[in-house]
Amino acid sequence: MTHPAIAGLGTGRCLVIGEVALTHDGSLGLAHAFVDAIANAGADAVKFQTHIAAAESTPSEPFRVKFSKQDKTRYDYWKRMEFTEEGWRGLAEHARERGILFLSSPFSIQAVELLERVGMPLWKIASGETSNAVLLERILDAAKPVLLSTGMSPIEEIDEAVARVRARNVDVGVFQCTTAYPCPPEKIGLNLIPFYRERYGCWVGLSDHSATIYPGLAGAALGMDMLEVHVALSREQFGPDVIASVTTQELRQLVDGIRFIERMRAHPIDKNASAQETAPLRKLFTRSLVASADLPAGTVIAREHVAIKKPGTGLPPDRLDEIIGRRLARPVTTDQVLAAEDIEGLVRN
């Protein structure tokens, strides 16, 4: 049975993915805490990264940023981030119990096979793996939707990856992504969301590293189908992705904002019908022509005899020129709202 969040792709409902990546820092307990926190924030999915050091790296791989004082090499770091298959299975079951999707990006064929046994409803391909045809072909064997990140890919490479997925009759989505941590507003690339939609005719979205909720809200206003955002329990957590993450409280704000925007987009307003609905309020907030003094019947109305005041239950201000020079049909008192019947020869509108 397809999860409602996947079934909603392409229907105007944005799939919101809370990306843990490796911010659990190798702690299975902390990973489970992330599942609960992201579910509590209202996201549709929790996502991790599955690294198997011996399958994807060598001891000579350098750190992108030397952040760890306990890992001599990046290979050591990947090793410390590994969970057993039982551990991954427990995270997947926990996510399902909380009603959200369990996702994890694989970084080797062995990781794909492990995650396939655990159960993956769809596959998210990390930016650095979009050009990895061997990995992608193995993932496509699972015949589940594939979401491609594009942070390091030129258009030609994205074209090739999308074509590869489509050749296997698998649904595909494309994330606009900029590999910068944190990503400044000038490099978010919101313009590429409609560009990808037109070019590929597929699900489109944003993989955001800005550490703010703003790009996600802007993307929702554009009608994107999916959002991936890095999440930290606190900005004081350890790890290289924390600087590019939103907190779980901000994730709640982001999800609420996206759902609000979706409701707005789903209900376009007919301005005339909307104005008609506010007719009772219009009388309270608009103005009428009123007498500025006590005036007897037969008075030739001059400008100084008329004021413009609330409520809007009498002659509207735009009829002022029509009544100047006419005679009063009956006496009026100060601040009396003028009606057509008060003025000789005036036609009621």
Q: In this structure, is residue 164 part of a structural domain? A: yes
**218-257: pLDDT as tens digits:** 999 999 999 999 999 999 999 889 999 999 999 999 999 9
User: Of the candidates 240, 266, 292, which is a domain's last residue?
Assistant: 266
Q: Based on the fold, state whether residues 116 and 170 are members of the same structural domain.
A: yes
Q: Based on the fold, state whether residues 165 and 85 are members of the same structural domain.
A: yes
Q: In this structure, is residue 59 part of a structural domain? A: yes
Give Rg (Cα) of the chain: 31
Q: Based on the fold, state whether residues 238 and 285 are members of the same structural domain.
A: no
User: Of the candidates 266, 295, 310, which is a domain's last residue?
Assistant: 266
Cis, bond preceding 182 (omega within 30 deg of 0): yes
| Higher per-residue pLDDT: 89 or 76 | 89
Q: What angle do CA 55, 115, 9 make, to 5 degrees?
A: 125
How much is the pLDDT for 278? 85
| Higher per-residue pLDDT: 280 or 268 | 268
Range of the domain at 303: 276-342
How much is the pLDDT for 66? 76
Q: In this structure, is residue 349 part of a structural domain? A: no
d(CA 328, CA 331): 7
How much is the pLDDT for 211? 97
Q: Residue 74: which pLDDT band, with cuts at 50, 70 and 90?
A: confident
**8-32: pLDDT as tens digits:** 999 999 999 999 999 999 999 999 9
Q: Residue 341: which pLDDT band, with cuts at 50, 70 and 90?
A: very high
Res. 39: pLDDT tops 90: yes
Average pLDDT over residues 196-214: 98
Q: Residue 124: which pLDDT band, with cuts at 50, 70 and 90?
A: very high
Residue 149 gets which letter from DSSP?
E
Q: In this structure, is residue 348 part of a structural domain? A: no
User: Of the candidates 211, 239, 266, which is a domain's last residue?
Assistant: 266
How big, in percent rounded to 5, are the helix, strand and coil portions of the chain?
A: 40, 20, 40
Q: Residue 36: which pLDDT band, with cuts at 50, 70 and 90?
A: very high
| Beta bridge pairs of residue 289 | 308
Res. 279: pLDDT tops 90: no
Q: Residue 164: which pLDDT band, with cuts at 50, 70 and 90?
A: very high
d(CA 29, CA 242): 18
Q: Based on the fold, state whether residues 171 and 216 are members of the same structural domain.
A: yes
- Largest CA-CA distance found in the chain, in angstroms, rounded: 103
Question: Which residues are within 8 A (CB) of 157 and not within 5 positions of it... i.e. 6 or more apart?
Answer: 130, 131
Element (H, E) at 204: strand 203-208
Res. 1: pLDDT tops 70: no
d(CA 92, CA 50): 13
- What pTM did the predictor assign? 0.88
Q: Based on the fold, state whether residues 150 and 195 are members of the same structural domain.
A: yes
**Are 179 and 151 contacting, i.e. CB atoms less than 8 angstroms apart?**
yes
Average pLDDT over residues 142-170: 97
Q: Residue 191: which pLDDT band, with cuts at 50, 70 and 90?
A: very high
CA 19 to chain centre: 14
Q: Based on the fold, state whether residues 321 and 230 are members of the same structural domain.
A: no
Give the CATH number for residue 119. 3.20.20.70
How much is the pLDDT for 73? 87
Element (H, E) at 83: none
Average pLDDT over residues 124-128: 95
Give the CATH number for residue 314. 3.90.1210.10
Q: Based on the fold, state whether residues 53 and 186 are members of the same structural domain.
A: yes
Percent of the chain with pLDDT over 70: 100
The token duo for 307 is 């004021």
Q: What single string gives the DSSP state of each residue in 324-340?
A: TTPBBSS-B-TTPBP-G
Q: In this structure, is residue 271 part of a structural domain? A: no
Q: Based on the fold, state whether residues 188 and 48 are members of the same structural domain.
A: yes
Q: Based on the fold, state whether residues 134 and 229 are members of the same structural domain.
A: yes
Q: Based on the fold, state whether residues 301 and 231 are members of the same structural domain.
A: no
**288-304: pLDDT as tens digits:** 999 999 999 999 999 99
Element (H, E) at 19: strand 15-21
Q: Based on the fold, state whether residues 213 and 245 are members of the same structural domain.
A: yes
Q: Based on the fold, state whether residues 307 and 186 are members of the same structural domain.
A: no
Q: In this structure, is residue 80 part of a structural domain? A: yes
Give the C-alpha distances (Å, rounded to integers) separating 116 from 49, 79, 112, 168, 211. Answer: 14, 20, 6, 18, 31
How much is the pLDDT for 275? 86
**Are 70 and 126 contacting, i.e. CB atoms less than 8 angstroms apart?**
no
Q: In this structure, is residue 347 part of a structural domain? A: no
Per the structure, how many domains does the chain have? 2
